[in-house]
Amino acid sequence: MKEAIFNAYLKKIQINNKKDNRDSYQNITIQLEDVFISDHDFAILKNISSDRVRVKIRQDSSQLSLEDINEEREKNRREKYKIL
């Protein structure tokens, strides 16, 4: 699975819990503003067509540049393919 990593400010998070006669489920809507994304990550993000995706949101205490994001991506890639 390809990952798209980017920085953004959260504008709004809306969580709706719904329940019908048979099932219950959640719908989460996240609005972002001031998105900083590289061309590479934008291309990956545009091509995501799966019904299921994994989203990881973390609070960042410092401003990250696109270079920092690329370093983080390379670090994660090395960890993912690390030979034990």
Q: What one-character-per-residue DSSP string does 13-71 give?
A: EEEEEEE-SS-EEEEEEEEEEEEE--HHHHHHHHT---S---------SS---HHHHHH
DSSP β-bridge partners for residue 9:
33
The residue ranges of every structural domain in the chain are 7-80
Segment (H or E) for 72: helix 66-80
pLDDT digits (tens, 9 = 90+) for 34-69: 888 888 888 888 888 777 778 877 777 666 677 777
pLDDT digits (tens, 9 = 90+) for 9-31: 888 989 999 888 888 888 889 89
Q: Is 11 helix (H, G, I), strand (E, B) or coil?
A: strand
